[in-house]
Structure 1
């Protein structure tokens, strides 16, 4: 059984109430719920939240709320992995342990398409790995144009090779972790200690879909790209 869980805590500080903030006519979380429900692989869509308003909003758009997230997993210090373990444990009680695949969608990343979700699931199923998560080619490269301060405060390249990179095209390809789609084995979440604690691979979602909402500026950027995306879809 494949379940999708969308996490949305109520105490956002960067942008208050961002998970239910209206984006082009519907709450932000609704975009992820509706996309998950369109997947040809996902059996059920649930919400992990500590907030009654978020829970009620999610249910209006078709997600299920079968448990509430405890306070200790709804603060700034709570890790995503522990939230996943809690949600999986609660759902396994309801499903008699029949869950084999756990899909997490960040509700702050509405630019993904249902085809991205399905391809990530297919990649997971066709690969001998513990999990798949969304990535995109990094816009900055630590071998070429990312610098950090050394112990004396002077800048140097973040990563170096025996032969220094002088052209961007010659730099090893690196990826950004895009907080959008995660597909993992239920046993991996239950027994693992973190996303990279096992054998995980990336699904390249593309730079145009890599934006997520943490601030007002992020929201404006996502709104712009979402409006552009919907406009292009309307012309097809």
Structure 2
């Protein structure tokens, strides 16, 4: 059972310019995902796809097995990510000659994941028999209790309602925020037309402290602090 890891890193970024190469805890952000993939011990091949020569060069020196140039039409501000993952995966299969059964995509902007999170998400796919797995964390807001929408009439209403109104957040159905950290597919499911959410999509739950996604300079600062603290603690444990 061959497994592929794809890491898709676009060169252009508006919220955090050049974020995939920004230094985070002493090394480019991209390298945290490559290292996590390598330390998971799961993959026969780790491939990085990008439209940026600088990102591809960093991936090559940072431990990726294969770097793949992304076509310009898959790298625009309006381009969806799933076609970029499909391109990277199909090119990796063609160039390596490997027949992959499972593909795992790691988002560069979610570097707080641990190798164990990748292992757990893949195990959920392989043990459940489902077509794909996404990751998320318990949501801070509930659409049944304190998440609202404003209608065309200007009135604010709960996003979702139940026959019996929820008076305590703890009584609301469990809801989760997708954290854009780990996506796992069986190979055929990645390339069919059903998209991300399917009749058997499973959720692998990660804690909030490993689920921050970098979309702003503030996110980058917070993630950097958390990673630096994690590495200090790990170094201290090795000394003991």
1:80 aligned partner: 81
Equivalent pair of 2:133/2:203 in contact (CA under 8 Å): yes
Equivalent pair of 2:4/2:89 in contact (CA under 8 Å): no
Give 1:42 shift: 1.2
Q: Which of 148-157 and 21-30 deviates more?
A: 148-157
1:143 aligned partner: 144
CA distances 1:95-122 after superposition (whole Å, capped 9, x unpaired): 4460111010001111011111111111
Q: CA RMSD in A?
A: 1.3
1:105 aligned to 2:106? yes
Q: Distance in 2 between matches of 1:60 and 1:89?
A: 23
| TM-score scaled by length of structure 2 | 0.94
Equivalent pair of 1:192/1:198 in contact (CA under 8 Å): no
Name the SS of the counterpart of 2:119 in structure 1. Answer: helix
Q: Distance in 2 between matches of 1:124 and 1:114?
A: 16
CA distances 1:71-118 after superposition (whole Å, capped 9, x unpaired): 000111111111122112212212446011101000111101111111
1:216 aligned to 2:225? no
Give 1:37 shift: 0.8
Equivalent pair of 1:88/1:186 in contact (CA under 8 Å): no
Q: How does 1:133-212 map to 2 (within 5 A)?
A: 133-212=134-213
CA distances 1:117-163 after superposition (whole Å, capped 9, x unpaired): 11111111101201111111101101011011123101111111111
Q: Distance in 1 between matches of 2:80 and 2:188?
A: 18
Equivalent pair of 1:103/1:183 in contact (CA under 8 Å): yes
CA distances 1:176-229 after superposition (whole Å, capped 9, x unpaired): 111001111111011133111452111111111111112111101111211222
Equivalent pair of 2:31/2:59 in contact (CA under 8 Å): yes
2:228 aligned partner: 227
Equivalent pair of 1:130/1:188 in contact (CA under 8 Å): yes
Name the SS of the counterpart of 1:67 in structure 2. Answer: strand
Equivalent pair of 2:130/2:200 in contact (CA under 8 Å): yes
**Count of residue pairs brought into register by the alignment:** 236
Q: Distance in 2 between matches of 1:169 and 1:231?
A: 35
Q: Distance in 1 between matches of 2:218 and 2:116?
A: 27
2:35 aligned partner: 34
1:90 aligned partner: 91
Stretches of structure 2 lacking an aligned partner (at least 5 in a row): none
Q: Which of 46-55 and 149-158 deviates more?
A: 149-158
